[in-house]
Amino acid sequence: MNDLIKVLTRSTPLQLLLLNLMAFSLGAGIAHYFGSPLPLPVYAVGQSISLALMYTAIYLREYFASFTQSTIYPPPMDRATQLTRKALQSGLLITALGFATLATTLVIIASRMAVITPLTIVLLITGIIGVVLIVIPSIRMMESGAGEVILAFLLVLITPALAYSLAATEIHRYLLLISLALTFMLVTTQIISQFSTYAADIQACRTNLLIRLGWQRTWHLHHVLLILAAVTLITAGIQGLPWSVLLPVAVTIPLAIWQVFLLSGMAAGKKPQWQIMRAISLAIPGLTLYFITFMFWVK
């Protein structure tokens, strides 16, 4: 039981919880901006569905990873250790199925509240497909180099779109453009994280976007993604999104420049400052999401 609690705690970083909460709030905020605010019970049910699906994916991934890791790195296990591992795996599976059951129950409740639209169903199915792609061992897109994009897509596009779909029948272009920019930013966050564990990942035979592309290509991709994120937000402004909503995001520009400078210094042979780089990589999408969401709610 103690081992299960440790794994459950380790598998649920605070950043993911906050990101899910803010991303859902973004979608609800855009609905509020267009005059279709979500009633509190609907908001609570929708947010709970989003969280339940996220935790289902997290614990399913831990469940399947426990088999993969024991196969690649088979430790000398006595019978007691084997029983402990099986109990841990059973606990992870039961927890994942529990959250999946909760999500299903909440979807039924939402349908009884008459807020489930065809768009909501499409988003839920898309989210489930995305989870399968990054969780199931025989697919495991996380090891192909494309999983980072799928994960970002699920977190900052499907989640806010799910909230918005509870009040609308089609996704607005503002939501698409903002979510696309956030997706670019979140992939750069994952790239920085992978740079910080590059040596350990190679030694452990783990595969990710950085290892697939190589550090030089990934270094260039990081810079391109930051530029694309900025261009996407500017495009949203040109498409009619009030510049007053986007203006506070300008505080992340110095952070993005600093991150590029630090990463370039690392490529030039300087000692990397991983703690600072990880903090900046989280702050860029985090602050962008926070400021835009806040502005939609107060408009």
Give the range among 60-64, 115-119, 198-202 with minimum mean pLDDT.
198-202
**Whole-number Å distance between alpha carbons of 101 and 10:** 22
63 inside domain: yes
Last residue of a domain, one of 107, 139, 171: 171
**Residue 66 pLDDT greater than 90, yes or no:** no
pTM of structure: 0.87
Overall average pLDDT of the 84-97 stretch: 80
97 inside domain: yes
Domains contained in the chain, number? 2
Q: What digits encode the pLDDT tens for the residues 225-265?
A: 999 999 999 999 999 999 999 999 999 999 999 999 988 88
Banded pLDDT at 133 (limits 50, 70, 90):
confident
Cβ pair 160, 123 in contact under 8 A: no
| Same-domain check for residues 193 and 132 | no
pLDDT value at residue 245: 93
**Residue 97 pLDDT greater than 70, yes or no:** yes
**Residue 58 pLDDT greater than 50, yes or no:** yes
Overall average pLDDT of the 136-156 stretch: 73
| Same-domain check for residues 136 and 9 | yes
182 inside domain: no
34 inside domain: yes
| Same-domain check for residues 152 and 231 | no
Alpha carbon separation from 33 to 76, 137, 239, 298 (Å, rounded): 59, 41, 16, 8
**Residue 20 pLDDT greater than 90, yes or no:** yes
56 inside domain: yes
Residue 249 zone, left/alpha/beta (φ > 0; ψ -120 to 50; rest): alpha
| Same-domain check for residues 52 and 160 | yes
Considering Cα of 267, then 134, then 53, then 229, what sign does the dihedral take? positive
All residues at 6 or more sequence positions from 289 whose CB lies less than 8 Å from its CB, including other chains = 19, 22, 23, 26, 156, 182
Q: Which amino acid is at 124?
A: L
pLDDT value at residue 193: 84
Banded pLDDT at 72 (limits 50, 70, 90):
very low
| Same-domain check for residues 153 and 195 | no
| Same-domain check for residues 37 and 136 | yes
142 inside domain: yes
Last residue of a domain, one of 171, 196, 218: 171
123 inside domain: yes
Q: What digits encode the pLDDT tens for the residues 158-186?
A: 999 999 999 988 899 999 999 999 999 99
Give the range among 101-105, 216-220, 232-236, 289-293 with minimum mean pLDDT.
216-220
**Residue 87 pLDDT greater than 50, yes or no:** yes
| Same-domain check for residues 204 and 105 | no
Domain that holds residue 222: 188-299
**Whole-number Å distance between alpha carbons of 209 and 197:** 12
| Same-domain check for residues 154 and 291 | no
Among residues 220, 214, 217, which one has the least CA distance to residue 201?
214
181 inside domain: no
| Same-domain check for residues 148 and 214 | no
pLDDT value at residue 14: 81
3-state SS, residue 166: coil
| Same-domain check for residues 26 and 164 | yes
pLDDT value at residue 78: 52
| Same-domain check for residues 160 and 264 | no
Overall average pLDDT of the 194-200 stretch: 78
| Same-domain check for residues 277 and 235 | yes
Last residue of a domain, one of 171, 206, 222: 171
**Whole-number Å distance between alpha carbons of 234 and 130:** 28
